[in-house]
Structure 1
Amino acid sequence: MSALSDLRVLDLTQVLAGPYCTMLLADMGADVVKVERPGGDLIRRNPPFAEDPEAEAYGGYFQSVNRGKRSLELDLGDEDDRGDFLHLVETADVVVENYRAGTMEKFDLGYETLRERNPQLIYSSIRGFGDPRTGESPRQGQPSFDLIAQALGGVMSITGQPDGPPTKVGPGIGDLFTAVLNCAGILAAVHHRERTGEGQHVDTGMYDAMISMCERAIYQHSYTGEIPGRRGNSHPTLFPYDAFETADGHVVIAAFGDGHWTALCRAMEQPDLAAEYDSGAARLANREALRAAIAEWTAERHTAAIVDLLEGDVPAAPVQDTADIFADEHVHAREMLVEVDQPGADRSVTIAGSPIKLSATMPEPGGRAPLLDEHRDELLGELAERTDAATSGATAGND
């Protein structure tokens, strides 16, 4: 039995934030039913493809965040499809959607309507700027993507080189961090329901999530009155805590504590630096000169030699690319690479595993992502069976 094996989730989300949230729930055992609009999720046809885009049912983008789900294609504007969806809601635990505010209400399927069908339902929304039910904002109704959230939430203003432009973080953190927070909110609502029997609305805004992620910039501005800027790979209040070029790549070194700093200076065969700059304040005040000294030392050595020399005494690591990650023993020991089938290709593909580890109910990323409408017969068949059972029960009661 998995941790969430008794939880059914109706997933009306698409692209990244919503699907990643429901993927986490599926990894932990929830029965996630991906209710897709006619034609399916917008990213089904996004590259890359394993072999032949024409033969494959979907690309890597869709595969990565929709594993282990069941698919049902419904047109919520169609009366019959809307009825099927409402019947599914009656036995669901959670509904997740990431439309613009007001979209579900256009189909008369907003939180209040669904709550009438299922008072214990947990209704979760992921939007760029949140839902009016939890706090009205003049931005609600505006479209949002990861890039928008990173720009508004302060991420880009503190990312990049000091003399360079504002820079987006590589992964879609506007989507992914919001998704993780929303997943936590759903699980909190499930716990609340177990104690009280009450469902509720869970709401997570991408802009809000980015402000939470940039907590350091918020308190810095409050404490100092200054606007934090871009510092490249360095840290505003800790040194050394930076990336350094080596003879064959880059290494990161985090030796801001006195003990680690002393060990780094010993490895560099410059104990005088440890004695002269023996406090964090002294190192910060002279960071440029000290950075130059460390950079000169790393530039003459290979990355592996530096890491081997510092290992166990100073926090240090190579800057890895994906080829390095695929070859890392830790990654395989922790099962962070998962092989899944790719419909339309003659080989399996690799996607990221689950970072959530539980000792008794270990999450297990399910099989491949579903084909569009792949599970229609079994899902609607389950509805028909429940309807027949309810009808039989009512007839027996009348007898």
Structure 2
Amino acid sequence: MGALSDLRVLDLTQVLAGPYCTMLLADMGADVVKVERPGGDLIRSSPPHLENPDAEPYGGYFQSVNRGKRSIELDLSGAADRETFLDLVETADVVVENYRAGTMESFDLGYETLRARNPELIYASIRGFGDPRTGETDRQGNPAFDIIAQALGGVMEITGAADGPPMKVGPGIGDLFTGTLNCIGILGAIHHRERTGEGQFVDTAMYDSMISMTERAIYLQSYEGEPPSRRGNSHPTLFPYNAFAVADGYVVVAAFGTNHWRALCAAIDRPDLAEAYPQPADRVANRESLRAVVADWMADRTIDEVLDRLEGEVPVAPVHDTEDIFADEHVHRREMLYDVDQPGTDETVEIAGSAIKMTETNPQPRGRAPLLDEHRAELLAELAAQEEALDE
């Protein structure tokens, strides 16, 4: 039994931000019913595939963020399917959608309509620029994807080499962080409903979320009066806090605290530097010359040699690729890789596990992602059984 095993979530989302949000809820035990438009989620056919895309009902993209859900295919523009959806709404605690603003209203299935059917419903939206109910702007209705949110929210301007172009962050944080915040909002709304019986509308915008994520850039602008820009792997107010090239790769060091700075200086046989630059401000002011000293010490040593000298005393780590992650015993002990079946093949694949850990109701993926419309029969049977029970 999961922490949310008493909740039903109707998931009308697609692609990444919304499915990631509802995946978090599913991992915590919620019954997530993926209500898919005719043809299904846009990313069902997206690669990678194990063998033959024509034989596999979905690829790794869909598998990763839709595990543990149930699927029903509904055409909300049709009267019968619209009524089936409204019947499901009566059984639901939460509805999540990530359409453009106004799309659900075009089906006469907006928040107000659903709330009239289920007054305690929590309705959550994920959009590029938010919903008019929580603050109307002229951008609402515009399409948005991860790179749009990263660009507008200031992420790209502070990412990349100092002499290079703006660069997006590798993971789709415009989607993933927005989905995570939406999940937090839903849980907050559930807690409020527990106390008051009152449902509500929860709105999380990708642009807003990126501004929240770039909080450092926001306060630097306010305090210093000018926009911060790219600094590569360094930090604007801390040193050492950087990546260093070694003989067989890269390591990162975060020894900005005075205790860690002293330990680093002792490890590289330069205790004089600890005495000469005892204060954080001294080290930041002289970062270029000090970085050169540390980089020179690192250059001819291997990752293992650096870790043997520093690890345990100085915050240090190798820069991993995914092969390193798969080989790391820590990752397996933390159950951060999960095996799930890949339909259309006889094989299993590994997907990222849940970073939320609990001692009593530990979240975990609850099976592979669903086939399109896989659970229609059982969901309709559940609705029929409920209707019969109400009649009795």
* Distance (whole Å) between structure 2 residues aligned to residue 300 and residue 158 of structure 1: 30
The residue number in structure 2 matching 1:255 is 255
* Distance (whole Å) between structure 2 residues aligned to residue 136 and residue 296 of structure 1: 54
The residue number in structure 2 matching 1:306 is 306
The residue number in structure 1 matching 2:147 is 147
The residue number in structure 2 matching 1:378 is 378
The residue number in structure 2 matching 1:226 is 226
The residue number in structure 2 matching 1:238 is 238
Secondary structure of the residue that 1:178 maps to in structure 2?
Answer: helix
* Distance (whole Å) between structure 1 residues aligned to residue 297 and residue 269 of structure 2: 10
The alpha carbon displacement at 1:348 in A equals 0.2
**Aligned residue identity for 2:127:** R
* Distance (whole Å) between structure 1 residues aligned to residue 75 and residue 313 of structure 2: 60
The TM-score with structure 2 as length reference comes to 0.99
The residue number in structure 1 matching 2:327 is 327
| Residues 8-58 of structure 1, C-alpha deviations (whole Å, 9 max, x = no match) | 000000000000000000000000000000000000000000111111110
The residue number in structure 1 matching 2:130 is 130
* Distance (whole Å) between structure 2 residues aligned to residue 270 and residue 388 of structure 1: 79
**Aligned residue identity for 1:303:** I
Alignment of 1:246-285 (within 5 A): 246-285=246-285
Task: Flag as ranges the 4+ runs of structure 1 deviating above 3 A.
Answer: none
The residue number in structure 2 matching 1:54 is 54
The alpha carbon displacement at 1:180 in A equals 0.5
Alignment of 1:337-356 (within 5 A): 337-356=337-356
**Aligned residue identity for 1:51:** E
The residue number in structure 2 matching 1:163 is 163
Taking only aligned residues, the RMSD between alpha carbons, in angstroms, comes to 0.6
The alpha carbon displacement at 1:5 in A equals 0.5
**Aligned residue identity for 2:248:** D
The alpha carbon displacement at 1:108 in A equals 0.1
| Residues 240-277 of structure 1, C-alpha deviations (whole Å, 9 max, x = no match) | 00000000000000111111111111111111111111
| Residues 290-317 of structure 1, C-alpha deviations (whole Å, 9 max, x = no match) | 1111111111100111012111110000
Asked if 1:190 corresponds to 2:186, the answer is: no
Secondary structure of the residue that 2:186 maps to in structure 1?
Answer: helix
The residue number in structure 2 matching 1:113 is 113
**Aligned residue identity for 1:368:** R
Secondary structure of the residue that 2:89 maps to in structure 1?
Answer: helix
**Aligned residue identity for 1:348:** T
**Aligned residue identity for 1:325:** I
* Distance (whole Å) between structure 1 residues aligned to residue 23 and residue 389 of structure 2: 31
The residue number in structure 2 matching 1:12 is 12
The alpha carbon displacement at 1:389 in A equals 2.4
Q: Give percent identity, aligned residues only.
A: 74
The residue number in structure 1 matching 2:101 is 101
Alignment of 1:361-376 (within 5 A): 361-376=361-376
The residue number in structure 2 matching 1:83 is 83
**Aligned residue identity for 1:293:** V
* Distance (whole Å) between structure 2 residues aligned to residue 345 and residue 110 of structure 1: 40
The residue number in structure 1 matching 2:3 is 3
**Aligned residue identity for 2:144:** S
Please identify, of 100-109 and 46-55, the stretch whose mean Cα deviation from structure 2 is larger: 46-55
The alpha carbon displacement at 1:388 in A equals 2.3
* Distance (whole Å) between structure 1 residues aligned to residue 272 and residue 316 of structure 2: 21
Give structure 1 stretches of 5+ with no counterpart.
394-399
| Residues 131-185 of structure 1, C-alpha deviations (whole Å, 9 max, x = no match) | 0001111110110000000000000000000000000000000000000000000
* Distance (whole Å) between structure 1 residues aligned to residue 281 and residue 47 of structure 2: 49
* Distance (whole Å) between structure 2 residues aligned to residue 196 and residue 176 of structure 1: 30
Secondary structure of the residue that 1:34 maps to in structure 2?
Answer: strand
| Residues 313-342 of structure 1, C-alpha deviations (whole Å, 9 max, x = no match) | 100000000000000011000000000000
| Residues 205-251 of structure 1, C-alpha deviations (whole Å, 9 max, x = no match) | 00000000000000000001011010000000000000000000000
* Distance (whole Å) between structure 1 residues aligned to residue 89 and residue 128 of structure 2: 25
**Aligned residue identity for 1:81:** D
The TM-score with structure 1 as length reference comes to 0.98
